[in-house]
Structure 1
Amino acid sequence: MLPIVLLSVFGIILLFLGFMKSRAVLLPACLLFITLALASNFIDWNKTYLYFNSMMLMNNLAMVFIGIVLISAFMVVALSGHYLEDESAQPAEYYAILLFSLVGAIMMISFENLLMLFVGIEILSVAMYILTGSDKHNLRANEASIKYFLMGAFATGIMLFGIALLYGATGSFAVSGIRGVIGAGSGASLLLYVGLLLLLIGILFKVSAAPFHFWTPDVYDGAPTLFTAYMSTVVKTAGFAALLRLLSVPFNNVYNFWWVILAIITALTLVAGNVTAVYQNSFKRMMAYSSISHAGYLLIGLAALTQQSRQALVFYSLAYSLATISAFGILLLVARERSLNRLNTDNRSDESFDAFNGLARKNPLLGFVMAVSMLSLAGIPLTAGFWGKFMVFSAAVERGMIWLLVVAVLMSAVGIYYYFRVVIAMYFREGTTENIRIAPFYRFVLIAATVLTIALGIVPGLLQGLV
């Protein structure tokens, strides 16, 4: 699989580039490497291949999810120019770890063997543990990193135990082998059900689903904002792609067992994420709970698992990633500007809702980008987020999960409240925000994400037929 090979080689090259006296080449090199990996991803379009002794499978669905992950990574890396100016930062190491983490994400998306799924999750997770604590002088980052590591280790143990039980029940780690045993009616035992449940718990922890979400607010809040953006988009997209493959292929024949459990978890996730977000005063913590709530909306598509679910999950993942990257990109600019102007000495106030007061008046472009991002996350029409929710809601209706749809609609109404807090602060409150200087490429990324969000909101059929 070419993207995996390229990203692994490019990561090593970036480490060597870190020995150069000038850092200026690091960011363009990383962006070029991700672009090459993205281009190589679609070489085998409309073809299906097995790789690495049938441990990984590449088809159109996997390519689309990998494309979303790589586009998200490209945008996040493009917002990282401030690391080149920070004497204490190590951008070569950061970029290399990001590329290595993408290898793990691709393994999660295209696994054909449960062992490859486990390896992919661990590659991605270890990279995120390191990046979360990359700001060594920040106590919040150190706390977030150790908390993420310890809780992630427990989740990994649970998941590995589940894989072992599944092997005991079916005699195979391969997706096709497990599906064959279950389809023949000889594998549906208590051992298999317990193993599946433990495996789901491990992956649901990674995507911040309730009640396995308690790590998310502290980790998102403590991690450097750039890596929070990466965590909430790339990691989540890879996790849901893995869940979709896991539930739709080997365990589709035991749908009657797991759909009730997943539906209950979905409802808990929606309520926990949306209701708790209302009480947050920190924008980053609000976005953390927002991430939890959007995990709930994505879980609706998985719980329904209809023909429309694949299209819905692809569209929603892209819409959510674009809006989230835009929001964190604006937060990065605002927090840095306030810090440089020494408007306060408390880093937490740089990330509060008050930091956006009057932003749209002094910086109309930033205000517009943030407004579109918040409207998309809230699911307002003429944005991609609206059609993403519409598609997953339609899947729930098709499956007859009306009670889950009612919960989702009510929580969507709650979500409008806290997303509009940011819009109101930008347009209707007085603030001390000055004109913020934006680097040309930074500006391009924000505009591109906003244009795509609006374009997908107006013409949602742009992605139709890809999967």
Structure 2
Amino acid sequence: MLPIVLLSAFGILLLFLGFLKSRAVLLPATLLFLLVSLAVNFIDWNKTYLYFNGMLLTDNLSMVFTAIVLGSSFMVVALSSSFMEDEAAQPAEYYGILLFSLVGAIMMIGFENLIMLFVGVEILSVAMYVLTGSDKRNLRSNEAALKYFLMGAFATGIMLFGMALLYGATGSFTLAGIRAYAVNPQVGLSLLFYVGLLMLLIGLLFKVSAAPFHFWTPDVYDGAPTLFTAFMSTVVKTAGFAALLRLLSVSFGGVYTFWWTILAIITALTLVAGNITAVYQNSFKRMMAYSSISHAGYLLIGLAALGQQTKQAIVFYSLAYSVATIAAFGVLLLVARQRNAETITSEGNSSESFDAFNGLARQNPLLGFAMTVSMLSLAGIPLTAGFWGKFYMFSTAVERGQIWLLVVAVLMSAVGIYYYFRVIIAMYFREGATAPIRVAPFYQYVLVVATLLTIGLGIAPGLLEGLF
């Protein structure tokens, strides 16, 4: 509850700070606001509270997810120093909207009422529509924002229609009321209930880029400014899966036999579509977009299994994926800006080629090592956090006896190794530009922390056990 109040107040304050002549205060202020919100998030640790007449829940699980979201946001904002140098940028507005979007993300994480879920989704989505099109000089960014808005509006409409059908069937918007209806053996579940459940799932699966609702992802990720792509692929995805976990485990566990097959098929389709398509990409940014789709598939394995280890697996995977992805986009930001890897043509198209990373490890060993650890983690190589994230996910499938889904996931993981290692090969085994990459000290600290977290969780994965 306190992070929601503080982030709302801090977002408004940032808009007023934008009237100052100097921009120098904006980035430190935003980082401070995020740290304060992260600190107060744990005030109610080991306590459970309901707010807004039982519409929002605060417990250990919601606080852990909120911490991942706030920590990821801190790291993304810490990489945004280029806004201070761009006269056309509006950093006060960008940071303010980011903080407002976090309010929506936290609502999605702790909702106890479908109305609160809808409000959270809308706050987060509208903020992302604006940030996606924030580069007004880039036609690609404008096109991405329009696509995201139109398709997101349809998905939200479907989700809202599903909520209405669930209310018509159960007479309640609360998760407890829906659960009571679903597990009552004396009540024959109506067709409205099943259709409403499917429509609600479609709306949320769109938000996390699951196939076949993923077609917007490559164009939006590619067209959006790289910094906001990093935010979108980590914070938005974490909030979406936290919402799905809460919805399925609390309200619809009683009808697991109905929806698990559908979700398992979507999981397999997401894994295949994301990994196979990523192989053919020549742009690193589009590859990361399809990588995001594939990782949505790995996270869906835990939801399709929905066993005792699902919560732990999704929390660990979300953290491991977020840290590695932010490090990768952080290196891309530097390479694109200083090596002119990002080229904008008169049509507004942009691309970040794999060739931009040629020889990077020799020119800047820190960037090369950070990107290598990130790619190894995303590929699921041992001694990185990504390996244990996949291990936990695969364990949930084994626990449920979903061996066929496990086989698909393992095969697609092998495919993923190919396109992640393309970046490593380019950095260490190819000749590239001779100009060194300059890295600001604070930027270095963020990349070092992300790299150490990835390695630390890979060596000691049990650090998060027993938190909830």
TM-score where L is the length of structure 1: 0.98
Match of 1:147 in 2: 147
Aligned to 1:351, the other structure's residue is in SS state coil
Contact 1:69 1:237 in 2 (8 A): yes
User: Aligned partners of 1:55 and 1:352: how far apart in 2?
Assistant: 46
- In the TM superposition, structure 1's runs of 4+ consecutive aligned residues that sit over 6 Å from their partners are 342-345
Q: Partners in 2 of 1:211 and 1:74 — Cα distance?
A: 32
User: Counterparts of 1:30-69 in structure 2 under 5 Å?
Assistant: 30-69=30-69
Name structure 2 gaps, 5 residues minimum: none
Q: 1:405 to 1:151 in 2, by over 3 A?
A: same
Distance of 2:170 and 2:188 partners within structure 1? 6
Match for residue 181 of structure 2? 181
Residues 343 and 449 (structure 1), Cα distance of their counterparts in 2 relative to 1, 3 Å cut: closer
Residue number in structure 1 paired with 2:258: 257
Q: Deviations over 1:330-372 (max 9, x none)?
A: 0000000023xx9977596761100000000010000000000
Q: Which residue of 1 aligns with 2:431?
A: 430
The whole-number CA distance in structure 2 between the counterparts of 1:217 and 1:356 is 21
Residues 199/405 of structure 1: CA separation in 2 closer, same or farther (3 Å cut): same
The structure-2 alpha-carbon separation of the partners of 1:205 and 1:350, relative to structure 1 and needing over 3 Å to count, comes to: closer
Deviation readout 1:399-420 (Å, 9 max, x if unpaired):
0000000000000000000000
State yes or no: 1:130 paired with 2:130.
Answer: yes
1:398-456 CA-partner distances (Å, limit 9, x unpaired): 00000000000000000000000000000000001521111111110000000000000
Q: Are 2:336 and 2:342, in contact at CA under 8 Å, matched by a contact in 1?
A: no
Letter matched to residue 4 of structure 2 = I
Distance in 2 (alpha carbons) for counterparts of 1:239 and 1:264: 19
How far apart are the structure 2 equivalents of 1:433 and 1:221? 27
SS in 2 for 1:50: strand
**Structure 1 CA distance for aligned equivalents of residues 232 and 410 of structure 2:** 26
Cα pair 1:358 1:425 within 8 Å, conserved: yes
Do residues 314 (structure 1) and 319 (structure 2) align?
no
Question: 1:188: how far off?
Answer: 2.1
Secondary structure, in 3 states, of the residue corresponding to 1:57? strand
With structure 2 as the length reference, what TM-score do the two structures score?
A: 0.98
CA distance in 2, matches of 1:443, 1:344: 25
Q: Report the secondary structure of 1:249's partner residue.
A: helix
AA in 2 matched with 1:220:
Y
Q: Structure 2 CA distance, aligned partners of 1:356 and 1:396? A: 37
> CA 1:343–1:188 in 2, change beyond 3 Å: closer, same or farther?
closer
Tell me how far 1:118 sits from its aligned partner. Answer: 0.4
Q: Deviations over 1:174-220 (max 9, x none)?
A: 11111112222326221100000000000000000000000000000
Write the deviation string for residues 30-56 of structure 1: whole angstroms up to 9, x where unpaired. Answer: 000011110111100001000011000
- Matched letter for residue 148 of structure 2: Y
Pairing of 1:98-113 with structure 2 (within 5 A): 98-113=98-113
- The question of whether the paired residues in 2 share the 8 Å contact of 1:300 and 1:396 is answered with yes
RMSD, matched Cα? 1.2
Distance 2:427 2:301 in 1: 32
Which residues of structure 1 form unaligned runs of 5+?
none
Which residue of 2 is the match for residue 291 of structure 1? 292
Letter in 2 for 1:259: W
CA distance in 2, matches of 1:349, 1:153: 26
Whole-angstrom CA distance in 1 between matches of 2:351 and 2:103? 33
Name the aligned partner's letter for residue 256 of structure 1.
T
Q: Distance in 1 between matches of 2:351 and 2:243?
A: 36
Structure-2 residue corresponding to 1:74 = 74
* Matched-pair contact (CA < 8 Å) for 1:78–1:445: yes
Report the residue type matching 2:454 in the other structure. T
